Amino acid sequence: MAGNQETISIEDLLNKNLSGVELDEATRILYGKKLEELNLSEEAHKLAERADFELAGYIFEAKPEQTRAARKVRIGAIQNKIVAPTTESVVTQRDALHSRIGVLIEAAVLSGVNIVCMQETWHMPFAFCTRERLPWTEFAESAENGPTTLFCKQLAKKFGIVIISPILERDENEVIWNTAVVISHTGEVIGKTRKNHIPRVGDFNESTYYMESTLGHRVFETAFGKIAINICYGRHHPQNWMMFALNGADIIFNPSATVGGLSEPIWPIEARNAAIANHVYTVAINRVGTESFPYEFTSGDGKPAHKEFGHFYGSSYVAAPDGSRSPGLSRIRDGVLVAEVDLNACRQVKDSWGFRMTQRLDLYAKELQEFIKPDYKQNILKEL
Ligand SMILES: NC(=O)NCCC(=O)O
């Protein structure tokens, strides 16, 4: 908060307070290689203005190669507030989000996007803070043919884009999961992946609602590259990113829902670090706004019961394998971030930094095998 005004973004603070060479130098040190802005269509900009959301785009270059053509892909990251109050019916809330996201996806399409990803459980409020079951569990739906997947399938087919749709899933056995559905540009579901690590921190009371994934680290081969999805809290687990990368992902999306008081200072670091450590592009997406619920809940911190959860601080960004990153979207507005990336950069950085060759996975595999044994003794030497 700057004075009484909510901070728009860290970039806004930098731009307001620095200029010229100083701004360039601060940007170079904080963001890496300077990214050219994408020239997005006037139609897309007009839509963003009319429907009141931010639209920004950047180009991540790779070097030209003699034996491989450039592999350029446009990624779209969508962040948004919920639309209808949480006191409205489940269907009203969900349908309102469907129509809002329809507009944001249209702007992404007008910006030439090939793969679009929404925030975690985008079709519902982040109601897990309440610990109440009804009506929130009614948002859970089939990953294959639930209303949200059907909605995304028709958009994917109409526009010829890949859609990553993170939802709360209820499977055929009535088990609930935190899932991302990957829909091909043909409109067919390629498959789904689920959240591997479930938070038990602050108001993120999610372990009482859904189960930990048993699907491993799936990578989806799409018409526009190999992609994986590391859902929200999974970004604190470096091994999670690593396994998606070892399975061949070029781009790892991190659809999230996280709040200022908990994670804002670490947000710019984690997905960016994962891009560097694993020679991949990462796309960190967070929801926006403060969500108000009908009944008070407590946070187990001695503070009074309350009805509000947030502020979700947006700030979605894209990071490249060389460590450069885009500016973040706003902390307070809905937005579409477009990034044109050349996937050839992944191997180029792999060849120059060489972490795949130096990471000594054999060493860690052996040590971890020992560590998980109940009688493991820490390898500490001390003076006798
Ligand atoms: N949704 C979710 O996993 N949030 C946990 C908070 C965080 O990881 O920042």
Q: Is the pLDDT of residue 315 over 80?
A: yes
**Per-residue confidence at 5, pLDDT binned at 50, 70, 90?**
confident
What residues are annotated to the active site? 120, 195, 232
Does domain 10-22+36-369 match CATH 3.60.110.10?
yes
The tokens of 81 are what? Answer: 């507030």
Q: Whose CA is nearest to atom 5 of ligand 1?
A: 233
Provide the pLDDT for residue 4: 66
Task: Encode burial over 343-356: b for 16+ CB neighbours within 10 A, e otherwise.
Answer: bbbbbbbbeebeee
Provide the pLDDT for residue 1: 54
Provide the pLDDT for residue 287: 98
Residue indicated by tokens 């005004």: 5
pLDDT mean over 161-171? 98
Q: Is the pLDDT of residue 3 over 80?
A: no
Say what the pTM is: 0.98
Kindly provide the ipTM of the predicted complex, given to two decimals: 0.99
Is residue 317 lining ligand 1, measured as CB closer than 6 Å? no
Is residue 258 lining ligand 1, measured as CB closer than 6 Å? yes
pLDDT mean over 316-333? 98
Average pLDDT, the chain: 97
Atom of ligand 1 nearest to the CA of 235: 8
Atom of ligand 1 nearest to the CA of 256: 1
pLDDT mean over 71-87? 98
Residue of 167, 178, 179, 233 to mutate, ligand 1, most atoms within 8 A of C-beta: 233
Q: Is the pLDDT of residue 114 over 90?
A: yes
Q: Where are the domains of the chain?
A: 10-22+36-369
Is residue 324 lining ligand 1, measured as CB closer than 6 Å? no
